[in-house]
Structure 1
Amino acid sequence: MSRPHDPPRGFFPFGNPFRLLSLKSSALSPWLLSLLTGFELLLAERLKKLIPKNKDDILTLSWMKLAMESLCETHENINTLITDLHLPVSDWEEKWVDVYLDISVKLLDLCNAFSSELTRLNQGDLYLKCFLHNLQSGSDQKKYLQSRSSLDSWRQHVNANNARIETCREVLDSLAKSLTLPNVKSSAKGKVLMRAFYGVKVQTVYICSVFTAAWSDSTNDLFDLHVSEKPLWAKVFTDTQSVVNGEVRDLLSSGRSTILKELERVDASVEKIYPMIQDGVDDTVEAETFKDCVMELGTQAEKLSQGLDRLLEEVESFFKMTLSGRDVLLCNLRSSDLISGNVFGEDVG
């Protein structure tokens, strides 16, 4: 539906977002207000959960999993809202459909990039397993050399750049450049839908920017979004963004090799073990210390691998949800056009 010569567009770039957000009680029926209020309160609760009691939990894989679960729940809620509104696809303005499809393609691209990075990091576990296997099969100089080689390979692997993550910034920029809402004049249901979409897109862009910053180790990929004060989730979002961004920036400015907490713990264990292998273990005390360090590495590596697997599952769930939403919309559009006697994609004049 977009024409090749049209300029790049972000989320619903159809005017001033704050115009729609000045909804008054008299503009909507009690039923529509109830639907919108329920949606926004759920979103506020979800965002509040992203502020942990201990800020050190931010950017753990369990926190990232919670963030992705939160995003999936919000997208499920918007699908439920669309159903509750009884707003047939045939009643959607063409520009809404056009932009929805454009957004969903970008979300699929982000999911693919995130999945590739999680898979890449988890592949590093093979080097750690090889390291542990070499030590278990002997402790002579040859085994130490093989073990050191495995740790070197692990370091190179996890510190390598992922070209797909590097493209995320461009995708996010295109989405965040115009966080606006269309000016819906004739449809009360359309106003509710677009205001709800505003919350969805703000949460989506922000969480994806945090993930990208975590994997690129760059504050340039971390967004500070300015949102309207009107939605019921606005204050919670601003608080969440402030806390999370503050912690991410502190981590990035600390000079750490990585800001992902589980990965950092594995890296710390590797840093302890590496000089021991290089210099050799001479006496009983050193041998006992070395054994404890190796056990700790095995434990932390297992936690990292499990955390990456769980987060990957959530990212894949979000991918499937986005893809399913596109399929349903396209099928409904085809059905609507066939019922009206038009072929999908044909100019109906």
Structure 2
Amino acid sequence: MFFSCLFPKKNNACISISPQLLFLVNRFEISLTKSIAELVPEDDNDKDDFLNFSWMITAMHSLCETHLGFTALMTTDVDLPVSDMEESLIEMYVDISSKLLELCDAFTSELHRLNHGNMFLNVAFSNPEEFDLSQVDRWKQYMASKNPSIENCGEVLRSLIKSLNRHHHRLYKKVTKKKKKSQDAKEGKEKVLLRSLYGAMVNTLYIFSVFAAAFTRSSKNLLHLTITKEMEEEEEEEVRWGQAFVELQNKVNLEIQNTSLSESFGVIRDLEAVESGVEKLYAAVQEGCPDLLMVMEPLKQSVKQLSERYDLIYKATRCLWDEVSLARDVLSERLLT
């Protein structure tokens, strides 16, 4: 994948990094590693361990912290006057983040749509004595419908990849031209920013592809990213967060690819629980079950919990939107000062 080209291998570039800068980049990468590791399913046999709303909320919050950390690194920790290289880094973040905001909007749009679908089930539960399947049928039809905003996620992701490719090519050329100035402290700072931005974007792009695959019920939107194991500062330096990222990607991708996305309303466990409850209720009505309340009650609780979780993941996604938007404003202003 194109990410492996972002950092030339071995001795292509030998820019000196001071101990202080190494401390900053190590701190950022340790935090990133921890965020990724928290998303890795602990038990391979427990499918409920991820791809539920709890997992998605944690993922969104971790991305929010990652972008907050990178913004702090860019604007506070690395005291750097605006140079051509830094301008390119800022322009890269601003350009890519515009696509991230589009994806956040698509995700919140889908969450709103899914939550609206619960209305049909709540109406169906309102009078158990006169219950019929019409509202359940409307729920099924509504849930099977498409959301144009979310269906466009694959195109946005591909556009994002193109943007990263374009920016990478330009930044790589600048890095290569400066490789002989190994004692330039400013270039060492630029290298730290480039390395940190790489980590933030790889993680963000992958997590967003998981969300896109889950919401669109299409594994075609799920990315498999290959990262380099060598960095410029040292020969054959391993990416600190690489092992956790590979483990996360392998486990989540395998589970999604083994799920028949087209046969359900999504791979999100919370939604699957409601779907299963609806099928049980539907069968009970058709079989003339004398005690529909016994079948209906657990489904009512699942729908209530689902609505609460929709609200939480919606807020977490908006939190990331706010952080990315704020970072864009701060970095754009930096270019003008």
Q: TM-score, normalised by structure 1?
A: 0.82
Corresponding residue number in structure 2 for 1:122? 115
Shift of 1:173: 1.3
Rounded to whole Å, the distance in 2 between the matches of 1:195 and 1:292 is 57
Q: Which moved more, 1:304-313 or 1:88-97?
A: 88-97
Is 1:100 equivalent to 2:129 in the alignment? no
Whether 1:154 and 2:143 are equivalent positions in the alignment is no
CA distance in 2, matches of 1:153, 1:71: 36
In structure 1, the partner of 2:326 is 324
Aligned partner (choices 28, 39, 62) of residue 39 of structure 1: 28
Tell me the equivalent position of 1:65: 57
Alignment of 1:264 with 2:251, yes or no, is no
| Residues 267-314 of structure 1: per-residue CA shift (max 9 Å, x gap) | 111101113334534xxxx31xx2221111011111211111110001
- Counterpart amino acid of residue 52 in structure 2: T
For 2:11 and 2:308, the matched residues in 1 are separated by: 46
Per the TM alignment, residue 176 of structure 1 is displaced from its structure 2 partner at its CA by 2.7
Q: Equivalences for 1:1-349 in 2 at 5 Å?
A: 16-19=5-8, 27-54=16-43, 55-56=46-47, 57-82=49-74, 83-89=76-82, 93-135=86-128, 139=129, 143-145=130-132, 148-177=133-162, 178=164, 180=168, 182-183=171-172, 184=175, 185=178, 187-229=187-229, 230-252=238-260, 255-281=263-289, 286-287=290-291, 290-334=292-336, 336=337
Distance 1:309 1:22 in 2: 50
- Deviation, structure 1 residue 34: 1.1
Contact 1:58 1:247 in 2 (8 A): no
Separation (CA, whole Å) in 1 of partners of 2:16 and 2:87? 24
- For each residue in 1:71-120, what CA deviation from the matched residue of structure 2 results, as whole angstroms up to 9, or x when unmatched? 11111111121210112446654433332221121111001000000111
Q: Deviations over 1:22-64 (max 9, x none)?
A: 7999721111111111111111111111112234122111011
Q: Does the C-alpha gap of structure 1 residues 94 and 304 become closer, same or farther in structure 2, counting only changes over 3 Å?
A: same
Query: How far off is 1:256 after superposition?
Result: 4.0
Residue aligned with 2:42, SS: coil
- What is the DSSP-based 3-state SS (H/G/I as helix, E as strand, rest coil) of the residue aligned with 1:280? coil
Return the letter of the residue paired with 2:40. I
**Cα deviation 1:155-178 (Å, max 9, x = unaligned):** 112221111111111111122344
TM-score of the two chains, using structure 2 as the length reference: 0.85
Higher relative contact order (CA 8 A, sep 6+): 2
Instruction: Give the distance between the partners of 1:319 and 1:88, measured in 2 at CA.
Output: 27
**Which residue is 1:7 aligned to?**
none
Bigger Rg, which one: 1
Asked whether the equivalents of residues 121 and 158 of structure 1 are also in contact (C-alpha less than 8 Å), the reply is yes
- Report the alpha carbon displacement of residue 196 of structure 1 after superposing the two structures with TM: 0.3
Match of 1:346 in 2: none
**CA–CA separation in structure 2 for the residues paired with 1:50 and 1:191:** 28
CA distance in 2 between counterparts of 1:49 and 1:234 reads 14
Q: Is the 2:217–2:261 contact (alpha carbons within 8 Å) kept by the matching residues of 1?
A: no
The 1:264–1:131 alpha-carbon spacing in structure 2 relative to 1, beyond 3 Å, is same
The one-character-per-residue Cα deviations of 1:210-259 (angstroms, maximum 9, x if unpaired) are 00000111110110001111321111111110011111112236944431
Secondary structure of 2:146 counterpart: coil
Instruction: Give unpaired runs (5+ residues) of structure 1.
Output: 1-9, 337-349
CA contact (8 A) 2:124 2:135 kept: yes
State how far apart, in whole Å, the 2-side matches of 1:71 and 1:293 are.
39
Paired residues of 1:113 and 1:165 also in contact (CA < 8 A) = yes
Q: Which amino acid aligns with 2:146?
A: N
Compared with structure 1, are the counterparts of its residues 23 and 111 closer, same or farther at alpha carbon in structure 2 (3 Å cutoff)?
Answer: farther
Secondary structure, aligned partner of 1:19: coil
User: In 2, distance between residues paired with 1:104 and 1:305?
Assistant: 29
Structure 2: any 5+ residue segments left out of the alignment?
A: 179-183, 230-237
Give yes or no for contact 1:25–1:33 (8 Å, CA) kept in 2.
Answer: no
Structure-2 separation of matches of 1:258 and 1:51: 20
Preserved CA contact (<8 Å) 1:20 1:195: no
Answer yes or no: is the 8 Å Cα contact 2:64–2:320 preserved in 1: yes
Q: Tell me the percent identity.
A: 37
Do the aligned partners of 1:90 and 1:333 also contact (CA within 8 Å) in 2? no
Counterpart for residue 181 of structure 2: none
